[in-house]
Every structure is written in structure tokens, then in C-alpha cells.
Structure 1
């Protein structure tokens, strides 16, 4: 059987996206900062850090991962064809493996899991696998517009009908969640299940946004764009120049609605604008990184990021495991103990360790442990 082909830029972008996913997920796992007396508190540095993360990170990197998932679908299909193996059973086994990993991840570690959503949406992706690239992009645009319209409608109703200011029971609810996460194993699993179920409606809505990114990735994979990026250098420069200001403006407005100075009633209005403009900022990030890595000093950085990207699933789950050990009763039970600025510093340290570990592991093994497990399930044999 021919050796499986890899597209280096897919791994590079996946390795880069791991940092954004970590920065976005960490505040949800660590909880809002509570002062010595148990009151909710945030220093000005935490406020600036939270505003910055919302502007530059939130809602951008799950789109990049979703795009790469759709692109990788085309690579997996081509791999099956080269091996002379039917693709449908392979794909079904792969998404079943993803689904089971996602359920375990959501129940035991982090209810904000995306693997279950990816597994379900993979069925849709398989159903439209032969869609024309232009049709896929148009369908993606309609999905994004639909999600934004739903959020905007709900947000405007909230602004018009809800009372200004925070709800009366916010602090009590935060303390209840903190007590659960600082409790024993059963307490942590119970609150994870409760929050996972409570987010089902929002997961369905944002699942449409992920599906849109899947479809764009599928279209790009059909055109082999990331296998021929040098041909599109001028096009990538134009995307950075045009998309970056638009994406930053929309994301800044989202931060104003989510983090202030506008109050919490504006949260979903900001989210609607964020959904519409996040693809522009995500595309600018991706193109800007690929252009940067084609400079004289970029090849070494590309190698480091590509190594991390090859272990993306292992790293994604490891990030949740580390944070669960730090912030829940599984380990230190430090839920709510740290502000956003301290948390972000810790995330950068963890990401640096993962980058170093990736190179060390891949010098000794071809796959990461979770990648090996999923590939075993996909092929129904040992790789």
C-alpha cells in the first residue's frame, strides 16, 4: 500500500489552532475569579485580558479546526481510494471513534466538547461529499447568515424585554457550580452532565456554523488549496489586507457586547456580529501565518507547529485533562481561584510544553497515542 500522504500546511494550521482552542476553553474550565470572601472580582489586568481574548480568539479557532476537519475529509477519502478500500466503512468507524471519545471527554473532563458535534456533522459531510465546491461555499454562507440571524433576533428581543444589569442569582449560581467542581469525582461528573445537557440548544445552533466551516474546508480540499499554497500567495495577501480589518472590527464589537461596556443583554447581539465576521478574521490568521512561514526564518516555526498539528487530538484532550486536574476535585480543585491574566500565562506555558513534547514524541513514534487509537478504529486493524 502506498505511504499515506500528508499536507504540511494542514498540520501547521492545526498546530496553531491548538493555542486558540486552549485560550478559548481555559476560562470556561477555570471559572470566573472569586475573591477571598467569595465575591466575584476582576482586576483591570483581568478585564483587559478577557476583552483581548474575546476579540482575538473567541469564535475564531473552532472555525479553523472545523475548516481543517472538512479539508482532512478529502485527504482521508483519497487515502482510502489509494488503498483500494471502501471509504464508507472507514468513515463510519472513524466518526464512531470520535463520538465515543467526545462523550468521554464531555462527561469526564469538559462539557464544551466538540468531538461529538464533529462526529454527528461527519454524517452530513459524507452525504454531500460530491457537492460542487462553489455550491458548498454558497451553502456555507447561507448557514452562517442563518445562525447570525437567529442570534440577532434573540439578542434584540433580550435587549428590548430584559431588565438591565446582571441577574439576581448570578453569584449564587457561580458558587454552586464552583462547589460542584471542587467536589469529588461524582460531583464533577454530575455538573459536567448538567452543563452539557443545558448547552444542547446552543450546540445545535453553533453546529450549523461548524458545518459551514466543514463545507468550506471540503471545497478547499477538492481544489487542493493547501497543497499548492505557493500558487496563491497574492490571493492570500489580499485576504489578509481586506479581511483582517473587517474581522477585527466585528470581533471588537462582540467584545464590547460580551465584556463591556455594554451590559449582558447585548451578549447575543455581539455574538451575531461575531458569527458574521469571525470567518474573515480566521481566514486572515490562516493566510497571514502561511505567508509568515514562507519567509527565511519561518521554516523552523513551521516544523514545530506541524509536529503539534500531527498530535492535535492528543493535545486537545490533554489540555482538558490538565485543566481538569488543576481546577476540579480530580486534583487541586482551584476552580475560580485565578483571574484571566494568570490563566492565560499558564496556557502559554502548557502550549510551549506541548510544542516541545510533539517533536520529542514524533522522533520516536509515527502517531500520538489518541491518533493511533483512532486510526486503529478507522482501519479496523493495527496501523
Structure 2
């Protein structure tokens, strides 16, 4: 069994969150580096076989899978927040409303200044609904989650069958022209980039209402049930259920992902429906595999490497957007449109590796990531200690004695 460690954290949860952070960045960086993906077309400068192979790899193994995982972990951490409030004798709804407000403001600023594809605002709104549903029975929570997912899938299928997308989507030539224009906007300064971010708000809101919001809430509820039952608190790595999840999740999840990739990715609504339907199974198989790896004596170092990045997930998420802004826009190096898919994948892996190392170094000195510290201050309405003055290297050992300490997103 793996109960919370002496520092009061669930390192499995932190490590899985760190893993999800990598997948999120691999997807997001494609939109940070070029205006073509946002217009559902391929940059004509990168149409070689290797470029197509890398894009296909991302479509099958990465796209739409890690958003699912991140949402599930958000719901799991919601229960840890509830437990922390209970231990501190604090009113949980007031704490969570402050936290939700902080997330929404962070998301709004993120959208305007760093990256137009923000998810924090969607999470904040969906979390309001989760707060209202926090006392429902597990069976009811699972039924609501299933109903939300079914509704999303039904709307996608109905849209694919009943709506002629050519009536409101631009032609390929127009989409390519729009992609070139968007790439040039990236190469501009603050005015051009903020303008692009604001111009994308209607689509961002539409996606949040019709797809991301309902699926996020459904996965929040599933994560809440898992957190209540402490599924990730008792993992040993040799449970038969982990193998069963792999045996089911990989074939079904990869089949749906292959359909999504072969049908044109986000440009085909039925393909998106296939991915939405099967991505949770593939994400679950990823988690089962990661848990088995992390609990094997020979590969347990994987958890130690990923956990600090996951513990600072919010800081790292925002930092990834800042790196993308500096690297690709005219505000910084102006490299938009110059990275092939393979180079972009290597860039994402390199940035994440740097974050893994930096997070470990940071947490040897400080209790929390800087954004996590500020959000905790707002959540608890009390300034938390940032540095352990007595012995900063052993911050975590002292955290275990604090009533409001808990692993959180």
C-alpha cells in the first residue's frame, strides 16, 4: 500500500500530474508555434513524410488524451482540498469559491497575455458545478458523468450527420491563407498577439460550452469518486486491475485514436467523437502503466523525477506558455513557422526536462511553486509560509505537521 508519505503528499498523484503536464504541452506548443493548426490545416512548408508521421504520432498517442487525465486529477485533488479544509476546521465552500475565483482570473490573464488556448477559465466554471455536486452519492456522480459524456458524444455525432460544415468553414485555400495570417500575427508584438488571443475568444467559449466544459465536469466527478475511495492512495503496482486496464484501454483507446488520426483529426467531427469516446480508456491505460513503472524497484526513480513537476503543475503550465511566447512570437525570438513537427516535439521534451529539474531544485528550498503559493494564500485567506526558515531542505517534513497541508492541483 502507498498511503500519503510523511510529508503529507500523495506522490503518485503528483507524478501522474507531472506526466499529464508533458502531454498538455506537446499539444499546446503546436498552436503556440504556428497559426496553421488553429485553422485546421497543415503548414505547407512541412509536408514531408517525416512531418506527417510525427503529426500522426501526436494524433494517436497524445492529442485529447492528456486533457482527460488532467481533468480527472483535478477532481481527485478536489477531495484532498476537502480533507484539508476539514482538518483545518475551515468552511470548504468559502475556500473553494476563493480558489475558483483565483483560477478564473489566472486563466483570463493567461488567455489575454500568454496563450489563447487556456483551460483554467473552463476549469473554474466547471468547478463551480462540482462544488454544488460535492455531496452527491458516488453512484449519482457516476451517472451524471456518464450523462454528460453521452450528451457530448451525441451532439458530436448529430453535428457530423446533420450539419454541413462546408457552409460555415472556410475552404482549404482560405484556411491556408488564414493560417499564414495567424502565423504573421504571432511574429508581431504585444498588440498583434493580444489581438489574436482576443479574436479567438468566441471559439474558445464555444468549445468550452459544447465540449471541454461538459467533459471536464464529467471527469471531475469521476476523479472525485476516485478520490473519495482513495484509489491512488493504496497502489502497490502489482494489482491485477492495472493489467486489466492496460489490456482493455490500449486496444480500444488506440483504435479510437487511429480513427481520429486517419479521419483528419480535429477537422472531422466523427473522428473527434471517436477520440472523445475512447480517450479516457487510453488515458487510463497510460496511468496504469505509469503506476506499474513507478512502483517497480528498478524504475521507481520515475516517480521521484515527475512528482516535483506535478506538485508545481500550475506554475509549470503557465511557464510553458511563457516559454512559447518568448520562443515563437515577435515579443521574443520570433521563431513561429520555423519548427518542423519533429523539432517542435524535441523542443517540448527539452522544455519539460528543464522543468523537471528546475521543479526539484525549487522544492528543495521552497514549500510551493510561486503560483501555487499565491493561490493557497487566496484559498485559505491566510498567507502560507514560503520558505522554512529553520531548515529549508526539509520543508516537506514540517509540512506534515500543518493542518491545512494537502496534495492539490
TM-score clears 0.5:
yes
Q: Does residue 233 in structure 1 map to residue 236 in structure 2?
A: no
Structure 1 contact 33–337 (Cα < 8 Å) conserved: no
Q: Does 1:12 align with 2:15?
A: yes
* Change beyond 3 A, Cα 1:164–1:74: closer
Name 1:295's counterpart in structure 2.
Answer: 296
SS in 1 for 2:28: helix
Residue 85 (1) aligns with residue 90 (2): yes
Partner of 1:381: 382
Equivalent residue, structure 2, for 1:108: 113
TM superposition shift of 1:215: 0.6
The answer for the alignment partner of 2:151 in structure 1 is 146
Residue 232 of structure 1 and its aligned partner are, at CA, apart by 7.9
Q: Is this contact kept in 2: 1:66–1:214, CA < 8 A?
A: yes
Q: Are residue 179 (structure 1) and residue 184 (structure 2) matched?
A: yes
Hey, what's the Cα distance between the residues in 2 that align with 1:165 and 1:192?
Answer: 20
Secondary structure of residue in 1 paired with 2:365: coil
Q: Helix, strand or coil: the match of 1:306?
A: helix
More helix by share: 1
User: Among 209, 212, 224, which residue is 2:215 paired with?
Assistant: 209
Are the equivalent residues in 2 in contact too, given 1:49–1:341 (CA < 8 A)?
Answer: yes
Cα 1:341–1:137 change in 2 (3 A) is same
Q: How far apart, in 2, do the equivalents of 1:159 and 1:53 lie? A: 27
Query: 2:36 touches 2:179 (CA, 8 Å); kept in 1?
Result: no
Residues 133 and 220 in structure 1, CA contact (< 8 A), matched pair in contact too: no
- Tell me the distance in 2 between the aligned counterparts of 1:202 and 1:45: 31
Structure 2 unaligned regions, length at least 5: 1-5, 38-42, 385-409
Report if the CA contact (8 A) 1:111-1:192 is conserved.
yes
CA contact (8 A) 1:33 1:41 kept: no
1:309-339 superposed Cα distances (whole Å, 9 cap, x missing partner): 1010011000000001111121012222212
Task: Decide whether the 8 Å contact of 1:136 with 1:219 is kept in 2.
Answer: yes
1:33, 1:339 within 8 Å by CA — same for their partners in 2?
no
Unaligned runs of 5+ in 1: none
Structure 2 equivalent of residue 117 of structure 1? 122
Match of 2:24, SS? helix
What's the CA shift for 1:230? Answer: 2.8
Aligned match of 1:352: 353
Root mean square deviation, CA, Å: 2.2
What is the aligned length?
Answer: 373
Q: Select 1:72's aligned residue among 49, 68, 77.
A: 77
Residue 29 of structure 2: aligned partner: 26
Which stretch of the first structure deviates more once superposed, 76-85 or 164-173? 164-173
Q: Does 1:247 align with 2:253?
A: yes
Residue 271 of structure 2 is aligned to residue 306 of structure 1? no
The 8 Å contact of residues 60 and 279 in structure 1, kept in 2 or not, is answered as: yes
Matched residue SS, 1:210: helix
Tell me whether 177-186 or 362-371 shows the greater mean CA deviation.
177-186
Instruction: State the alpha-carbon separation in 1 of the partners of residues 46 and 68 from structure 2.
Output: 31
- Cα distance, 1:198 vs. partner? 2.6
Q: Distance in 2 between matches of 1:283 and 1:240?
A: 8
Alpha-carbon shift at residue 139 of structure 1 (Å):
1.6
CA contact (8 A) 1:33 1:40 kept: no
- CA deviation after TM superposition for structure 1 residue 167, in Å: 2.8
2:48 matches 1:47: no
Secondary structure of the 2:306 match is helix
Task: Give the TM-score, by structure 2 length.
Answer: 0.87
Residue 154 of structure 1 and its aligned partner are, at CA, apart by: 1.4
